[in-house]
Amino acid sequence: MTLLVTGGAGFIGSNFVLDWLAQSEEPVVNLDALTYAGNLGNLAALRGDPRHVFVHGDIGDRPLLDRLLAEHRPRAILHFAAESHVDRSIHGPGAFIKTNVEGTFTLLEAARAHWTALDGDAKAAFRFHHVSTDEVYGSLVPGAPAFTETHPYEPNSPYSASKAASDHLVRAWHHTYGLPVLTTNCSNNYGPYHFPEKLIPLMIVNALAGKPLPIYGDGQQVRDWLYVGDHCSAIRAVLARGRVGETYNVGGWNEQANRDIVQRICALLDELRPSAAGPYARLITHVTDRPGHDRRYAIDARKIERELGWRPAETFETGIRKTVRWYLDHADWVATVQSGGYRDWLATNYSAR
């Protein structure tokens, strides 16, 4: 009994691997290409643990996939590997097509060959779990009902379009070939090991360094925020009890405007790590909005609660406090991930705004 996890050194993937092995003796084979956001330091607690087999490789490498599937014979594939940053997709969409579309296609074909060769109970039990995003649904106006699993796909960025394409491939491989798939579309995750280019970790790290806190436009873009530990528990529930071929939306029931998120982070830092220079909110700076910025996302997570009994355990208040404390306690991790390439990226993205 083994799981194959793709992208297990990234933010959500590494949290899932750590969470899984904290609760289960079932081994994990962790395949990650270690691009800029993949960090083996996230998995330092598993060094020497025989239940964790790390493989440095790409989901687009079909011979490698075939070898891993033949050698480890996993009962499930959990597909986290993806390029996931909207701003990066605007500056360089090619990498998103290569990984999110072509990579998912290659993984699906390898999974299909592996599953087809299985016998009896092993074939019946096999699952391909595709981890996706609410951004495939597009944008909501204020007051509109939250996204359900049947909401039309209306992606508005190269990132969300590439994820929408991968969702469609997964669905097609189920309906055409019978591959037993599960898909989850989650809202914005936050928590430990989040690469500091995304909103919440960027604000924490910049504030502690006394740097500007850049907010796009008027800061009224609304997102539903999901603590990453809750996301991991939802994935476990779907893998264990989800209906084959179904999609489950995973949300935190926590709609917050970006401006309010930044203000709350500043208030928590004022409480937990006061600055001699004054309140952290003094660093807030509004910058030119990014092209095609979606105004609002909101997840209707009633289906997963109704069918699988899952609800998030964290409120936004408890989750954001845990997150800020984690970054305060792990300055060494932040320093390690802030490579020269990361600083170059921030300069590229914000210098002209």
Q: Establish whether 135 is a catalytic residue.
A: yes
Which is the catalytic residue, given 32, 58, 87, 135?
A: 135
CA–CA separation, 287 and 106 (whole Å): 39
Give the active site residue among 58, 149, 159, 280. 159
Closest CA to 264 of 209, 203, 206, 310: 203
Contact 249, 149 (CB under 8 A): yes
Query: Taking CA 178 as the corner, what is the angle to CA 177 and CA 181, rounded to the nearest 5 degrees?
Result: 115
The dihedrals phi and psi of 180, each to the nearest 5 degrees, come to -80, 95
Cβ atoms of residues 227 and 314 within 8 Å: yes
Computed from CA positions of residues 236, 238, 242, 244, in that sequence, does the dihedral angle turn out positive or negative? negative
Three-state SS at 247: strand
**159 — phi, psi (to 5°)?**
-60, -55
- What dihedral angle (degrees, nearest 10) is formed by the CA atoms of 189, 57, 184, 134? 50
Out of 32, 58, 87, 134, the active site residue is: 134
**Of 81, 87, 70, whose CA–CA distance to 104 is shortest?**
81
286 vs 141, 258, 283, 299, CA distance in Å? 22, 11, 10, 27
Strand 247-250 versus strand 213-216 pairing type? unpaired
Catalytic site includes residue 134: yes
Q: 145, 322, 329, 111: which is closest to 251 by C-alpha?
A: 145
Q: Which distant-in-sequence residues (6+ apart) come within 8 Å of 176 by Cβ?
A: none
Are the CB atoms for 144 and 79 separated by under 8 Å? no
Cα distance between residue 302 and residue 311, in whole Å: 9
Q: State the catalytic residues.
A: 134-135, 159
